[in-house]
């Protein structure tokens, strides 16, 4: 990855005392096809393990602490953030998270907007691929594994409530952002995740959940520079407040 500079990051985050770390995780294209293919389909969990390893190293190196560490990602990166706030290890490593235009329900993603075109990357939930997709579908991890809510079985019959797989889970303070006019990732992903966190997890398990949906902007979340500036101001102000930076 080549170094670069973003004026928005500089003004909105670095000048306020924040630091930014880019985790070079498996699944990207930085080192060619093999690096990308290392986290496809049933191996998707590897990119989330890489994020956990980077976060743990930052804490172990005393560069930061859990209370001062946040993760941020959009689109496929939003799926990553969804996993980080629901996985047992990752959710204990971050004090805050920003989840932008995310994929979160991997059972239905292929039926919504451009989702079917990504089955080569993630898998087809209408086939046996669902067995591994289920393991990194944040909406299902939250509602069924963590909260123990009944889940539809293979015959579409609603099962029984189950014991939580992680009684100690507490959701990092999270901001979800999306766009009503997103033509790639349906805003329903973010809407239903936020509803589950607020209405089903509740304030004891999800103490702070914020949601912002722009009515314009497409998959980028903003239609022009003014809206883009507003979106990033919301993001960095949220992180500054929750991580204790000067506002």
Q: Say whether 219 is catalytic.
A: yes
Beta-carbon contacts of residue 39 (< 8 Å; ≥ 6 apart): 25, 26, 27, 45, 46, 47
Helix, strand, coil share of the chain (percent; to 5): 45, 10, 45
The catalytically annotated residue of 36, 210, 219, 230 is 219
Q: What is the pLDDT along the chain (247 residues), one digit of tens a residue?
A: 777 889 999 999 999 999 999 999 999 888 999 999 999 999 999 999 999 999 999 999 999 999 999 999 999 999 999 999 999 999 999 999 999 999 999 999 999 999 999 999 999 999 999 999 999 999 999 999 999 999 988 777 888 888 898 899 999 999 999 999 999 999 999 999 999 999 999 999 999 999 999 999 999 999 999 999 999 999 999 999 999 987 6
| Distances in whole angstroms, Cα of residue 63 to Cα of each of 17, 20, 21, 93, 245 | 13, 11, 11, 13, 15
Beta-carbon contacts of residue 45 (< 8 Å; ≥ 6 apart): 39, 135, 136
Rounded to two decimals, the pTM is 0.95
Bridge partner residues of 74 (DSSP): 100
The catalytically annotated residue of 36, 75, 92, 230 is 75
* Tokens 């743990």 -> residue: 56
């Amino acid at each position: 990855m080549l170094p670069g500079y973003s004026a928005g990051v500089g003004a909105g985050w670095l000048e306020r005392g924040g630091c930014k770390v880019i985790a070079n995780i498996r699944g990207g294209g930085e080192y060619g096809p093999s690096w990308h293919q290392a986290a496809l389909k049933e191996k998707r969990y590897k990119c989330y393990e890489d994020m956990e390893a980077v976060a743990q190293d930052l804490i172990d190196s005393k560069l930061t602490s859990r209370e001062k560490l946040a993760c941020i990602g959009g689109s496929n990166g939003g799926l990553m953030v969804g996993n980080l706030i629901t996985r047992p290890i990752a959710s204990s490593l971050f004090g805050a998270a920003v989840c932008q235009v995310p994929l979160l329900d991997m059972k239905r993603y292929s039926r919504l907007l451009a989702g079917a075109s990504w089955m080569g990357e993630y898998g087809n939930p209408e086939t046996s691929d669902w067995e591994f997709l289920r393991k990194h579908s944040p909406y299902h991890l939250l509602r069924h594994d963590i909260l123990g809510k009944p889940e539809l079985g293979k015959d579409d019959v609603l099962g029984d409530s189950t014991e939580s797989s992680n009684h100690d889970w507490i959701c990092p303070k999270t901001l979800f952002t999306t766009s009503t006019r997103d033509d790639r990732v349906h805003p329903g992903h973010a809407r239903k995740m936020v509803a589950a966190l607020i209405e089903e997890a509740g304030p004891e398990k999800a103490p702070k959940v914020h949601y912002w949906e722009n009515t314009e902007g497409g998959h980028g979340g903003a239609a022009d520079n003014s809206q883009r500036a507003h979106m990033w101001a919301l993001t960095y102000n949220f992180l500054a407040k929750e991580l204790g930076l000067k506002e």
